[in-house]
Amino acid sequence: MAHWLFKSEPSSWSWDEQVAAGEAGTAWTGVRNHLARKHLQAMRLGDQGFFYHSNEGKAVVGIVEVIREYYPDHTDPTGRFGMVDLKAVEPMPEPVTLEAIKAQPELADMVLIRNSRLSVQPVTDEEWRIVRRLGGL
DNA sequence: GCCAACGTTGGC
DNA sequence: GCCAACGTTGGC
């Protein structure tokens, strides 16, 4: 099972809103980057990912799960991009800040650090384990 | 609010 | 197909 990281500015879509969407989840609209799209296409039902708040917060705040695989993003006028559906699984008991991630030598190669602008990122099994542990899971 | 990094666009 | 100009993202 692969792991991922989804970035969102809380002012446009926050963890609280994701939780409020419940079991039905929501479509992760708005990805307009080819590499991010490649990651969306590689996602499978049941894959889990980190929900990261960018700008305000700058922390991993929860775990989400893929509940629908890649399909066209109706908000994309060009029709070139797609999306997946996500639902909230559980919050991090302790948000894992960007600062805390940077402080971990084992996490120096995380895409979050190396290519901070990418909005949908792969997370290795080891990174998954370490960040979960930092967050108290 | 600034600016570096990076992706995209469009003229040639 | 190259590359300058431009827009956006996101950390600081």
Our measurement of CA A120 to C1' C4, in angstroms, reads 29
Nucleotides of C under 7 A from a protein CB: 8-12
pLDDT in tens, chain A (137 residues): 999 999 999 999 999 999 999 999 999 999 999 999 999 999 999 999 999 999 999 999 999 999 999 999 988 878 889 999 999 999 999 999 999 999 999 999 999 999 989 999 999 999 999 999 999 99
Our measurement of CA A71 to C1' C11, in angstroms, reads 32
The per-residue pLDDT for A23 is 96
A27, two tokens: 């479509």
Interface residues for strand C (CB within 7 Å) are A 7, 9, 54-55, 58, 98-99, 102, 116-119
First to last CA, chain A: 18
| Strand A3-8 with A48-53, pairing | parallel
CATH number of A3-132: 3.10.590.10
The per-residue pLDDT for A40 is 95
- The nucleotide whose C1' lies nearest the CA of A33 is B7
Residue A8: how many other CB atoms lie within 10 Å: 21
The per-residue pLDDT for A76 is 86
Looking at the whole model, is its pTM more than 0.75?
yes
The per-residue pLDDT for A77 is 77
The per-residue pLDDT for A41 is 95
Three-state DSSP at A90 gives: strand
The per-residue pLDDT for A25 is 96
Our measurement of CA A33 to C1' B9, in angstroms, reads 14
Our measurement of CA A45 to C1' C5, in angstroms, reads 41
Residue A110: how many other CB atoms lie within 10 Å: 22
Domain residue limits, chain A: 3-132
